[in-house]
């Protein structure tokens, strides 16, 4: 990155310089240039200090001439008149936060970029707290034909998205605290929960997920897991389209992203779910439209990785080529993106439907069906990556940068899925070399009309085992991630986090929600201390029907899901027992 007066910045790629947008008009004097995250830190006049393109508050108005982020994660800056600044540990900002509710700590930014943190070697730490990273940077890339023009919105190491949303064709919200990353922890009350951006809560009208709590008669933030993030970003700002492989006019697209994780059961501790709602805010149709997920996975050492595509499982993944990594040691983990819900097409048939998980609720949409994963293209390093809009659009379509088809060397047939063999058995087309790998996982082509919303759900998965390259364990984790989602996480108890600051004064049972219900409802109870809990369902005559729970729970807020599918409509009685405290309530099931 080259910097200069009036916020001038240029990014150098393959010996060519391209304009790069930074949200400041101040003179810039210095950028930090370690071997990683070389484009993340800037300083300049009047005490300006920027982290990942965002202005960070300092306590001086004097010019800062030079600085360093030290290896112990401290910031040291020097400037005019003998100014020396030294910070404590650089911590997360409202614009980038980490999801750390299970074995993973992954960072997400409100410009759509994820798995990158501006103060570390990457942004997907596994196991959490180990200072070992399995991914370096990931992002969403969108592109299609609008009239005779090819328009893209690119996010990989940089982003053409900015925080905000589009209303009446006009983008708004960038630079305000309304469009930060919101993160709520189940059972905890903080400013992100009270400020959850939904107009039904009296906050910014961004469409963050809520549910109606019948026990209080009010709308509340909808916890999708034990930790849930929401943020909104848009490509509608013309000035943000400066990526060297983009630089088109905006699609005029909004993205609403919901990211969540569970801290139990064991099968979900190495999974992060990400739901994208991609909205056409323009007055023109997007044709030949593709949705692509880019990821530069670095399993510890970046130079000894290989990648593959499991088309039957809709899984794109990275594994260690020689099964011995300088960071992770022998039998390093494998990691990847599993498709949970692909984009849909309308069929109009009542026999076609897709069910989406929505936290305390689920939503069944009829007359639509899922599309397929259409391509997965893999590059070894920067040399081979697309460098122009045309090259990138070809890559999104599953073609070579030049527009030619890839040929599977095993069967001699054209393919849009690179390395689609099985590395475990050695059959099919597998990578024969290693390097700093990255992949483009794509869906399309499709048509998106003005005002339409496309929904995609992916799961980031990681696993480590004793089998060949940890691939078998990764596949099993991907299967479990999809199975739990398909079952709408029935039977999964969302536990209160240790971050929860308030405990009830006594054990308490709340009315199930929704009530009446069909066929799924949630039973919430609070414990002021660890207790043995029994939840039992009886029919109206008093006959015991089912024991939902009979085990020990930690103190805090808990939810248990009850599926009445297959039962007759009517009134059922739930009995709650915890350390001698007994309560009961009526639940009404209506088909």
Q: What is the pLDDT of residue 185?
A: 93
Distance between CA atoms of residues 522 and 562, nearest Å: 6
**Is residue 585 over pLDDT 50?**
yes
Q: What is the pLDDT of residues 184-198, one digit of tens each?
A: 999 888 889 999 999
In the predicted model, what is the mean pLDDT of residues 344-365? 91
d(CA 288, CA 279): 16
Q: Apex CA 123: angle with CA 120 and CA 124, to 5°? A: 125
DSSP string, 532-570: EEEEEEEETTS-EEEEEEEEEE-SEEEEEEEE-TTSPSE
Give the phi and the psi of residue 18 in degrees, each rounded to 5: -130, 145
Provide the residue count of the chain.
Answer: 591
For the chain, state the CA radius of gyration. 25
What would the mean pLDDT of 227-240 be, rounded to a whole number?
96
Q: According to the model, what pLDDT value does residue 498 have?
A: 38
Vertex 477, ends 474 and 481: CA angle to 5°? 140
If DSSP codes are grouped into helix, strand and coil, which group holds residue 119?
A: coil
Across the chain, mean pLDDT equals 86
State the Cα–Cα distance between residues 163 and 366, nearest whole angstrom.
Answer: 32
Give the Cα separation of 574 and 536 in Å (integer). 6
Give the tens place of pLDDT for each residue, 403-415. 999 999 999 999 9
- What 3 state SS string does 491-517 have? CCCCCCCCCCCCCCCCCEECCCECCCE
Residue 303: its pLDDT value, please?
87
What 3-state class would DSSP assign to 303? helix
Task: Report how far residue 42's alpha carbon sits from residue 588's, in angstroms, rounded to the nearest whole number.
Answer: 60
pLDDT band (50, 70, 90) for residue 487: very high
All residues at 6 or more sequence positions from 210 whose CB lies less than 8 Å from its CB, including other chains = 196, 198, 200, 201, 219, 220, 221, 222
């Amino acid at each position: 990155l080259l910097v200069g007066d009036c916020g001038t910045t240029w990014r150098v790629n393959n010996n060519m310089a391209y304009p790069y947008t930074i949200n400041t008009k101040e003179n810039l004097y210095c950028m930090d240039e370690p071997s990683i995250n070389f484009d993340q830190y800037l300083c300049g006049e009047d005490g300006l200090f920027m982290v990942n393109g965002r202005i960070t508050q300092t306590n001086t108005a004097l010019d800062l001439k030079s600085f360093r982020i030290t290896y112990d994660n401290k910031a040291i800056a020097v400037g005019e008149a003998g100014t020396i600044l030294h910070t404590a540990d650089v911590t997360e900002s409202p614009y980038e936060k980490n999801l750390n509710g299970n074995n993973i700590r992954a960072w997400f930014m409100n410009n759509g970029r994820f798995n990158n943190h501006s103060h570390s070697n990457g942004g997907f730490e596994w196991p959490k707290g180990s200072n070992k990273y399995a991914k370096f940077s990931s992002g969403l890339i969108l592109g299609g034909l609008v009239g005779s023009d090819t328009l893209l919105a690119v996010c990989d190491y940089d982003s053409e998205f900015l925080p905000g949303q589009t209303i009446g064709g006009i983008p708004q919200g960038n630079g305000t605290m309304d469009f930060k990353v919101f993160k709520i922890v189940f059972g905890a009350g903080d400013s992100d929960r009270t400020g959850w951006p939904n107009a039904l809560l009296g906050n910014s009208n961004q469409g963050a997920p809520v549910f109606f709590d019948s026990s209080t008669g009010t709308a509340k933030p909808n916890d999708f897991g034990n930790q849930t993030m929401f943020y909104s970003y848009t490509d509608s700002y013309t000035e943000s389209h400066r990526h060297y492989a983009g630089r088109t006019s905006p699609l005029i697209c909004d993205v609403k992203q919901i990211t969540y994780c569970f801290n139990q059961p064991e099968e979900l501790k190495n999974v992060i779910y990400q739901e994208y709602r991609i909205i056409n805010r323009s007055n023109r149709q997007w044709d030949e439209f593709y949705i692509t997920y880019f990821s530069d996975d670095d399993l510890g050492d970046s130079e000894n990785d290989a990648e593959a595509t499991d088309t039957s499982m809709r899984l794109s993944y990275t594994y260690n080529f020689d099964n011995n990594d300088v960071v992770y040691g022998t039998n390093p983990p494998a990691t990847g993106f599993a498709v949970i819900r692909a984009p849909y097409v309308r069929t109009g048939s009542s026999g076609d439907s897709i069910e989406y998980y929505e936290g305390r609720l689920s939503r069944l949409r009829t007359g639509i069906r899922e599309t397929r994963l259409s391509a997965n293209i893999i590059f070894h390093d920067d040399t081979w990556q697309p460098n122009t809009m045309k090259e990138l659009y070809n890559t999104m379509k599953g073609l070579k940068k030049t527009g030619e088809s890839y040929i599977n060397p095993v069967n001699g047939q054209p393919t849009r899925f690179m390395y689609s063999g099985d590395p475990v058995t050695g059959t099919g087309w597998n990578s024969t070399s290693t390097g700093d790998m990255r992949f483009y996982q794509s869906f399309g082509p499709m048509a998106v009309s003005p005002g339409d919303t496309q929904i995609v759900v992916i799961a980031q998965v990681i696993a480590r085992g004793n089998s060949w390259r940890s691939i078998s364990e990764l596949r099993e984790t991907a299967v479990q991630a999809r199975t739990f989602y398909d079952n709408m996480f029935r039977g999964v108890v969302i536990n209160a986090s240790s971050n929860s600051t308030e405990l009830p004064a006594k054990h308490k049972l709340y009315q199930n929600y929704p009530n009446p219900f069909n066929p799924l409802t949630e039973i919430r109870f609070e414990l002021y201390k660890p207790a043995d809990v029994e939840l039992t369902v009886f029919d109206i005559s008093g006959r015991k029907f089912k024991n939902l729970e009979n085990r020990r729970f930690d103190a805090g807020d808990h939810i248990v899901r009850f599926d009445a599918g297959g039962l007759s409509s009517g009134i059922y009685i739930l009995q709650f027992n915890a350390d001698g405290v007994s309560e009961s309530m009526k639940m009404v099931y209506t088909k």
